[in-house]
Structure formats: C-alpha cells, structure tokens
A and B are shown apart, each in its own frame.
Chain A
Amino acid sequence: MRYFLILSLSLLSFQINAQELFVMTEPASNMPTSSIGVRDMSLFAFKKTDGYNYHNMPELMWGVNKDWMIHASAFLSNKQGDMMLEGGSLYAKYRFFSVDDLHSHFRLAAYGRISTSNAEIHQEDIETMGMNSGYEIGAVATQLINKTALSATVSYERAFNNQGNIFPDEWSKSAMNYTFSIGQLMYPKKYTSFKQTNINAMLEFLGQRLNQNGKSYLDVVPSIQFIINSQARIDLGYRRQIYSDMERISTNSILLKLEYTFFNVTN
C-alpha cells in the first residue's frame, strides 16, 4: 500500500500545476476577515451489507480576523430510519505562520474541534465529524505553488461516550490522523473575469491509526470542484478505502458539498 501511495504521488507531481480549497480537509489558509460562509454536505455512505446511510451536515463558517476562523456544524442522518439531528460541532483554526511570494505561499495553522453526537457506535474508526462525541486537535501545513496546492495534516482525535450510547471499552478511544491533499487548478488556463467557472481537481489521502491497538485505515478521495462566480463552490467526491484492519460501517461513500461565501458581512 505504501508503494501505491508513493507511486501515485510521484506520478501526480509531474503534471500538477490549483487550489487548496480541499474537499475533505481544511488548508492552513483562512477565510477572508468578516466573511461568512454557508456550506451543506451530503454524504451517501454505502453500507457493507446493502443500501446506504444518508448524512447531511450544514455548516456555518466565519472569518473572525486574518488569523482566526470558526465553524459551527450540525449532523443529521437517516441511520435510524427518519432524518434525525444527531449532534453538532464547533471548530476553530488559527493561522500562525505565513510566507507569501508572488504566486506561492507556505502557511501553518493549528486547529481544534469539539463535537457531540447521539448516534449508535458500530465502528472502530473515530470520526468527530458526524459519528462520535469527542475532540480533535491538529496542525496543518499548506504549500501553494502557482496552480498547485499541497497540504498535510496531523491530528489527535479522542472519542467520548456518545449521548445515550457508550463507547465500547475494548476499543481504542483515541487515534492519530494523517492526511495529504493535492489540488490543481484545471480551468481556466488564463483568467478573464470573476464570472469564469474555475475547475479544480483534488486527490486526498486520509489515514487513521488507533492508539491503543495499532489498527489503521487509509482512504483515498478523488474529487472535482467547481467555483462559480468566484463566490460559490460545488464539490463532488468519492471516498474509497485502500486498506483497513478495523471494523467500519462504510468503506466507500459519495459526497456532495455546496458552499457560498458572503464577503464583508461583519465589518
């Protein structure tokens, strides 16, 4: 598996020339100060048996100042039958380092998330974005060079008991996450106006290792992104497991993300 990763990365690095508005992870850069973003993510998580669970996560995002941004999300799903509110989370990110040049930058940020969920726990993998109550703290580094963006995240994630559902004692309650994302601006080759639709292609690798028993998984998420009118975003991605030795509900899923940014709202 490791070879597969190295091979795909080296293949990509030859032709990549994009953007860092990643679908699965956040870059080290923040939203502009006083802008408000609204986002809605639909996730179709295919079950190992048959059928799929539908998750919906509306999210509100705010650029507090040039260094800080915060997100508030709600988690809904139809796992129990009807669409139900299962929980929510608060997320904050602090950009603490920037080196910018004409068409490039390198940035570092630290972030944290705290989540609550009342979902039943059937999976060993820890996901505070919609599955587990708990918290995550991490650091992200992002490099943009011309039209290519590279980003890597390392984080520690800790699960608590979900509301009304106990986290099994025999499972690992904490994990380390590793992500690596590549984004490339595909279109336009040359800008003529803000009205032009931008198309970005992304490839993201999401890995987790459980601290108490060493079990791990690695997923890959190819996605395509459309930026319309320099203000709205449509992301379409497919998440697929490359390997795993842990018990998971879903090993592949389709996600659709819609996002709109309102600039200069809280000036």
Chain B
Amino acid sequence: MKTDIIIKRFIALVMLLGITSSYAQISKVEIMATGLTCSMCSNAINKQLKAMPEVEKVMIDLNNNTFVVNLKNNSLVTPQMLKSNIEKTGFFVGSMILTMDANNVELKDNSSFKNASGTYVFVNPDEKATNEKLRLKVLNNGFVTKKEYKKSAKLLSKYIGLGTQEGTYYVKTI
C-alpha cells in the first residue's frame, strides 16, 4: 500500500520534472487577422487578446491587422487558444508566427518536438537556422488563409498522413 503511494508520488515528480525540463514556452506571437479593415474591428480583437490572463502586452499594426502578443513567463497558452479567441470576435487568423525558446531542438524535416503548448512538426525547416529562439509559422488549417492552405495542402499531406491530431502543429521556420 505504502509503496504504491511512493511510486505514484515518484511518477508525479518525474512527470513534473519532465514538463519543466522541456519547458520551451511561447514567449511572443505575431498574429495577422483576416477579414477586417476597420479600426473598430481591430479594437475588438485587441480587447479580446488583452482579456486573456496569459497575455502581457499587445502591440498592433492597424494598417496590416497584425497583433504582436507578448505572453507572460510560464504561460500555458497554445496556438489553438489564440486562434479561438480571434474567432470569437468574428474574424479569422491569416497567419500566426510563434517565437519560442527551443534549445537542443533538432531542425530536421519531419522531425518534431514537444512542449507544454503542443507538438511541433517541422516542414522543410531551414536546417542552418540558429537554434536559440525559433520563429515558427503555423501551417495548419485555420492558421493561414484558406487560399494559402489550399496551396500547401499537398505538401502538408506528406506530413499529416492519417490526419491531424489536436495539439499538433505543422511549422515552418521563419
């Protein structure tokens, strides 16, 4: 009985350490929203993003509908959460670029790494890119414009195989 508890605690501890050690969280996200041209519309997105507890700061380029979102340390924001918050305002994501620390991540085609925000699969990465801060553009459906997704669907099919899993993002280094 007692050993059971000890084993459970040990497993929990290992899992906790496991999470923290691979803790390459997203520090910044650049989101371009689509379907809008008025400042009232961008303000709706601005307010929506600022209302997320994980968001530290939002900077906006009104002419390009681009929102640069700085996230708090150790925030557990996922790309999916950001996307659904944009969609709540009635608009869509046209492009999303994540900046994250990714030490010791192998930049190889079709290789993947995992952290608290999701699993990331590289699509034709620049293998020579410096490896400390990664800028990754998400290629999944709903994270690029419909036109762009259509264009890249064939390329992506090689990686996706049997279909996308929740929390798996196909990314290109920028």
Contacts and interface: CB of A to CB of B under 8 A. Distances in A.
Contacts of A14: none
A230 B39 contact: yes
Nearest to B32: A102
Interface residues of A, number: 41
Contacts of B145: 100-102
A67 B147 CA distance: 22
A169 B1 CA distance: 86
Given A21-B38, A185-B37, A230-B39, A98 B92 contact: yes
Contacts of B34: 100-103, 105
Contacts of A66: 87-90
B91 interface: yes
B40 A21 contact: yes
Contacts of B51: 263-264, 267
A32 B44 CA distance: 7
A198 B38 contact: yes
Interface in A60-117: 63, 65-66, 95, 98-105
Contact of A100 (B38, B63, B88, B91): B91
Contacts of A198: 38-40
Interface string B70-104: 00000000000000000111111010000000000
A194 B38 CA distance: 10
A29 B90 contact: yes
Contact of A105 (B35, B39, B46): B35
A147 B38 CA distance: 8
Given A29-B90, A100-B91, A101-B145, A264 B40 contact: no
Interface in B34-62: 34-40, 42-48, 51, 60, 62
Given A66-B87, A198-B39, 20 more contacts: A19-B38, A30-B90, A32-B89, A33-B90, A35-B44, A95-B90, A98-B92, A100-B35, A101-B94, A103-B65, A105-B36, A190-B63, A198-B38, A227-B38, A230-B40, A230-B43, A261-B44, A263-B43, A264-B51, A267-B51
Interface of B: 32, 34-40, 42-48, 51, 60, 62-63, 65, 87-92, 94, 145-147
